[in-house]
Structure 1
Amino acid sequence: MTDNGQNSAASTYTLPPLGQNPSTTAAGTTPGSFARPPVIAPGADGAYTFASPDTQGMPKPSKKTAWNFLPAGWKTTEASSPNAKVRFSPPKNTELKSFEQSDGTGRFVAYPRDFTPVTQLEHARLGIITREMHRVAEREPHLTAVQVRDEVAAGRMVIPANKVHLQHQLDPMAIGRASKTKVNANMGASPVSSGTDEEVEKLKWAEKWGADTVMDLS
């Protein structure tokens, strides 16, 4: 299920520069990195063709990540390398895990001693690279499994692959800032009203406004 090792290709690849897929650095979260140039060709069109978070009145991008919102009993810090000596006082009854991040820095994580990771996010927080993360890296050739893990841990990427999904031979994919699919739309039967025409209408609107993928939740 899991692989504690690092991807051997981690030092070979770097994330694309801004203007293509945004980077995993703080600079990559700037609104301009998401702006799309006008495309005079078949595809998504309409009022949102020029859309960007630069819209007047929008709040500035936050520098916080999922590491800033850890569960109770967790604590983390970073260092220049996994072997660096850091002043870190883990809470009582916790285990300490350290691992190297994709940019070469070290991450130190203290977590409850009786904790067992279940979700992709929980594995990523402990530095564990799952089979699903490896599969995402295969589907996203500009990313390594290490970078996928770091994006998930930072809350910038989601791998919708829980235990139920995997029982049905799901082929894992990712939705996130650095992945090919950045916007996912949902369609599916409603307990109030639903029919083929309504679902096709949802699909058309999702495509019109630029969804990268459309997920049927029926």
Structure 2
Amino acid sequence: MTPPPWSPLPLAPPSAVRSPMSQSSSPDLPLPLRGAHNPSSTGAGTTPGSFANAPQVGSALTYSSPDTPGMPPPSDKTAWDFMPADWTQVDGRWTPPVGFEPRTQLEFARLGQITPQMKRVAERERHLTPEQVRDEVAAGRMIIPANRVHLQHNLDPMAIGRASLTKVNANMGASPVSSGTADEVEKLRWAERWGADTVMDLSTGGDLDATRAAILSAS
């Protein structure tokens, strides 16, 4: 299919969106404005971890400075520039091979289809429509971690991408000297209770297969 045209949502003017702090702790350190498209070329306007161009959809709070040292230059390429070899493009439309059945959110998005998971993401991301979620997934700028063979089939789909809201990931894991399967499941419960969007098991000790199976089964 042809990548659909952008339908960007209006961004709030940078001057209208300020830091949650009402005033700076020092007159020499003015509060930065959120949502500026190119905040600064100095350390005062640099946000660690930023790396991409400003998104064309989303809120003014989803972008930060690209000035962070060590980051690669922004790329204008999208997932549409890296299509599978067996897909063909005719008159600007991509067509999968005969008999192709989509299985992933990316494949559904490439075919222009809106899945229940994309609709759920749009419900949670009030600034995005299902169509915009689909387009961001198809472009490779957003992922929806919703494995269709998840053991309990009770995932609440969410999205990670530069047009989506910031997500919180909880790292946990058993070590060779402490913790165990029951402890890791308890950590999972605490992460859920405090609103973590994702949980990552970084176990390095104990029965790794049993620990991860227990976490998946309980999530």
Q: Distance in 2 between matches of 1:151 and 1:111?
A: 19
CA distances 1:60-109 after superposition (whole Å, capped 9, x unpaired): 10101111111111244xxxxxxxxxxx36xxxxxxxxxxxxxxxxx621
Residue in 2 aligned with 1:134?
119
Unpaired stretches in structure 2, ≥5 consecutive residues: 1-5, 15-33, 38-52, 189-195, 202-214
What CA distance in whole angstroms lies between the structure 1 residues aligned with 2:97 and 2:110? Answer: 13
Partner of 2:144: 159
- For 1:39, the equivalent position in structure 2 comes to none
Cα distance in 2, alignment partners of residues 154 and 195 from structure 1? 41
Q: Which of 18, 28, 42 is matched with 2:55 structurally?
A: 28
Is contact 1:15–1:21 with CA below 8 Å preserved after alignment?
A: no
Query: Counterparts of 1:21 and 1:111 in 2: how far apart (Å)?
Result: 40
Counterpart residue number, 1:68:
81
> CA distance change for structure 1 residues 176 and 139 in 2, over 3 Å: closer, same or farther?
same
Q: Which has the higher contact order (CA 8 A, sep 6+)?
A: 1
Task: Give the strand-richer structure, 1 or 2.
Answer: 1
1:168 aligned residue (153, 156, 159): 153
2:169 maps to 1:185: yes
Q: Which runs of 4+ in 1 moved over 3 A?
A: 15-22, 190-194
Alpha-carbon contact 2:62-2:166 (below 8 Å) kept? no
Deviation at 1:157, TM superposition (A): 0.8
Contact 2:62–2:165 at 8 Å: present in 1 too? no
TM-score by length of 1: 0.54
Is residue 144–residue 157 contact of structure 2 (8 Å, CA) maintained in 1?
Answer: yes
> What is residue 53 of structure 1 aligned with on the other side?
66
Contact 2:118 2:134 in 1 (8 A): yes
Quickly say closer, same or farther: Cα 1:20–1:144, change in 2 above 3 A.
farther
Q: Is the 8 A contact 2:144 2:160 kept in 1?
A: yes
1:145 to 118, 130, 137: 130
Matched, 1:14 2:9: yes
1:79 is matched with none
Structure 1 residue 121: Cα displacement: 0.7
C-alpha RMSD over aligned residues:
3.8
- What TM-score, normalized by structure 2, do the two folds share? 0.54
Change (3 A) 1:124 1:15: farther
Change (3 A) 1:194 1:65: farther
Matches within 5 A, 1:107-126: 108-126=93-111
Q: Relative to structure 1, is the Cα distance of residues 151 and 193 closer, same or farther in structure 2, using a 3 angstrom cutoff?
A: farther
The answer on whether the counterparts of 1:174 and 1:181 sit within 8 Å (CA) in structure 2 is no
Equivalenced residues, count: 148
Shift of 1:34: 2.6
Indicate the percent of aligned positions where both proteins have the same amino acid: 53
Once the 2 structures are TM-superposed, how far is the Cα of residue 179 of structure 1 from its aligned partner?
A: 0.9
Q: CA deviation at 1:213?
A: 4.1
